[in-house]
Amino acid sequence: MKKQYAFYIDPQSYKNLAIYDYSLLTNLRSEQLEVVFFGSTSYDYLPLDDIRFIKIFSYNKKGNSLSKAISYVWSYMVIMNYIVRFRPQVIHFQWFKLPSFDRLVVAMLRRMTSIRLVHTAHNLLPHDTGDRYKNVYHKLYHTVHHIIVHSQNTRQQLCEMFGIDGSKVSVIPHGLLHIHNDEQLLARNMKDYDAKYHPQGKMVFTALGEQTPYKGIDLLARAWISCNELSEATDCQLIVVGHQNGVDLSELARCRNTIVDNRRIPDDEFLYLLRHTDVYLLPYRRISQSGALLTALAEHVPVLVTNVGGLCDPFDVAPVGWTIEANDVSALSRQLLYLQKHREEVAAIKQDAASWQRLRVYYDWQNIGRQTLQVYAKPLKTELNR
């Protein structure tokens, strides 16, 4: 029997996305299908020894927009050569980095081949771009044969916003993201981190990772600053660490019980902060699903989230935190103040082993891999998607 191939393409397979790719790829096991991974030269997670990994994308290392675009287009020209040679049954696109160009690639493959085209819509539109790419993504979504999303909420939005037939959309959860860390390195740095953050004995709220407007970090800053019981409390602390993009947190940084650090931190420091967090904060304005959420839950950290996208999905599985309405500074202040005064409620969630076990089962990568292979195996529809 002739060998069959699935091409898995992720131009952004580094940092948290490398963890996602590793977790999914290592669970795409099939006797009938070999998965070939086209990823970034910056891939920085565990080795993929049993998977054919072609490091092809290096646009992120270029110095300006033009050179990035040229590099990205060239990478796809090389991939096209592999497509001609291997003739894969499936091509699975994880992210589109240059949507106008990607639309042409997908359209050409749709017209000229019988390859099944699958796309995982991690976000319905690129972050912080408004409706700039809505027409392009409308064409992309109608051109691919099947779309994977991470929540029922996102599936509904996709179908309504772009007029997509629900039969071509599958909901497959985004699994928990486990940071692979050198525990010995963390142990060596523990005293330095203790001296820097002083978390002992305090109720610790954190918001980690890149800080941008769509994540609502400015709303969190206003909620904290506007409530004297929070901003002047000596028994609680707010830690915001991550590169700031389009936000000004200088006023928040002046509060005595906050630490605001505008930088990307190493994995061991990130893990230290997670393990010393009482409540992880995700006051997003909009999102489909959040890697930060799945990383916090992997470490059994209770979360406070807004009811957007798939952020509330884990609460259908187990009570792992609290939810509030989006874009409501007053509601955020009230909930933070409530949690500060009810530390026993936070501790009870942290110690609820049965709930965390249910979460692990639901977000199990092996099951996610099986569901993804089922999407690959769906019969190819030859009619145009409407």
Give pLDDT, residue 126: 87
Q: What are 125-156's pLDDT values in tens digits?
A: 987 777 889 999 999 999 999 999 999 999 99
Task: Determine, yes or no, domain membership for 15.
Answer: yes
209, amino acid identity = G
Q: CB neighbours of 26 closer than 8 A, spacing ≥ 6?
A: 48, 50, 51, 365, 369
Task: Determine, yes or no, domain membership for 201.
Answer: yes
Give pLDDT, residue 1: 61
Strand order in the sheet with 90-93: 52-57, 33-40, 4-9, 90-93, 116-120, 146-149, 169-171
Task: Determine, yes or no, domain membership for 21.
Answer: yes
Residue 326 and residue 191 share a domain: yes
Residue 251 and residue 231 share a domain: yes
Residue 133 and residue 42 share a domain: yes
Residue 145 and residue 22 share a domain: yes
Instruction: List the chain pLDDT tens, one digit each, 386 residues.
Output: 678 999 999 999 998 899 999 999 999 988 889 999 999 999 999 999 889 999 999 999 998 999 999 999 999 999 999 999 999 999 999 999 999 999 999 999 999 999 999 999 999 998 777 788 999 999 999 999 999 999 999 999 999 999 999 999 999 999 999 988 878 888 899 999 999 999 999 999 999 999 999 999 999 999 999 999 999 999 999 999 999 999 999 999 999 999 999 999 888 999 999 999 999 999 999 888 899 999 999 999 999 999 998 999 999 999 999 999 999 999 999 999 999 999 999 999 999 999 999 999 999 999 999 999 999 998 876 444 44
Residue 345 and residue 256 share a domain: yes
Residue 261 and residue 153 share a domain: no
> Closest Cα partner for 298 from 367, 359, 370?
359
Domain containing 240 equals 183-362
As for how many domains the chain has, the answer is 2
Q: Which region, left, alpha or beta, applies to residue 15 given φ > 0 means left and ψ of -120 to 50 means alpha?
A: left
Burial of 118 (0-12, 13-18, 19+ CB in 10 A): buried
Q: What are 300-336's pLDDT values in tens digits?
A: 999 999 999 899 999 999 999 999 999 999 999 999 9
Residue 191 and residue 110 share a domain: no
Within its chain, how far is the Cα of 321 from the centroid? Answer: 19
Task: Determine, yes or no, domain membership for 384.
Answer: no
Tell me, what CATH number does 134's domain have? 3.40.50.2000
Please write down the HEC assignment for all residues of the chain: CCCEEEEEECCCCCCHHHHHHHHHHCCCCCCCEEEEEEEECCCCCCCCCCCEEEEEECHHHCCCHHHHHHHHHHHHHHHHHHHHHHCCCEEEECCCCCHHHHHHHHHHHHHHCCCEEEEECCCCCCCCCCCCCHHHHHHHHHHCCEEEECCHHHHHHHHHHHCCCHHHEEECCCCCCCCCCCHHHHHHHHHHHHHHHCCCCCEEEEEECCECHHHCHHHHHHHHHCCHHHHCCCCEEEEEECCECCCCCHHHHCCCCEEEECCCCCHHHHHHHHHCCCEEEECCCCCCCCHHHHHHHHCCCCEEEECCCCCCHHHHCCCCEEEECCCCHHHHHHHHHHHHHCHHHHHHHHCCHHHHHHHHHHCCHHHHHHHHHHHHHCCCCCCCCC
Give pLDDT, residue 381: 63
Residue 237 and residue 116 share a domain: no
Give pLDDT, residue 49: 87
Residue 220 and residue 320 share a domain: yes
Residue 336 and residue 302 share a domain: yes
Residue 309 and residue 217 share a domain: yes
Task: Determine, yes or no, domain membership for 382.
Answer: no
Give pLDDT, residue 86: 95
Residue 269 and residue 156 share a domain: no
Tokens representing 321 are 């935190």
